[in-house]
Chains A and B, each alone.
Chain A
């Protein structure tokens, strides 16, 4: 089991460009959660997706940010027209279906560190 895989590990974008971050959940997991970590801060929830469904995007900025988790392939977090304030580490976690999300720990990927120059 390869765990939660994120790529790229590091991403540098100029202001105004688009950033696409990918997350492949653990085998058998169909729920994905994206978190953002600003420097010297804890992680902040962004969005929760199941296959082909956005369940909760309450933590995601309304503009420029979007997320998807298609039937096939990884989950994608897309940031359009990036600004310096988007520089952060973006982590995803996954969980299996029909499992009480309440009472077990999450497996996180190693993250994508986005730098906007």
Chain B
């Protein structure tokens, strides 16, 4: 099965609401990263959380990591129409091959003005 599965696959919310996306993974990780991809564009790195961290904030973004459950969540507060994009989690494994990012299929977020 694929490492880094996001949930839900698609999410539609009103502007101003909070958006929560979840990610599960299967193997031991060194860190977990979240990326955003606007339609037809490249990926933009949002935030990285190390395996020994439990929570991290960056502006309107809050990421949590639970290594015992092998899961992470990304919370976007006070969403804006410009947040409309696909969001991917990506894991970097511990040990050998630790430069490889393994991506999930992403959550497609639509923020309605």
A and B associate in one complex = yes
**Interface residues in chain A, defined as those with a beta carbon under 8 Å from any beta carbon in chain B:** 6, 31, 33, 35, 40-45, 48, 56, 58-59, 91, 95, 101-111, 113
Task: Tell me the total A-B contact number using a CB cutoff of 8 A.
Answer: 70
Does B20 belong to the interface (CB within 8 Å)? no
Sampled A-B contacts (29; CB under 8 Å): A33-B99, A33-B101, A41-B105, A42-B103, A42-B104, A43-B43, A43-B88, A44-B103, A45-B100, A45-B101, A45-B102, A48-B99, A48-B100, A56-B97, A56-B99, A91-B43, A95-B99, A102-B98, A102-B99, A103-B50, A103-B92, A105-B35, A105-B45, A105-B46, A106-B101, A108-B43, A109-B42, A110-B41, A111-B42
Q: Is B33 an interface residue (CB 8 A)?
A: yes
Among A33, A95, A108, the one with the most B-chain Cβ atoms within 10 Å of its Cβ is: A108
| B interface, size bucket | 20 to 34
Q: A33-B99, A42-B106, A56-B97 are in contact. Are A102 and B30 (CB under 8 A)?
A: yes
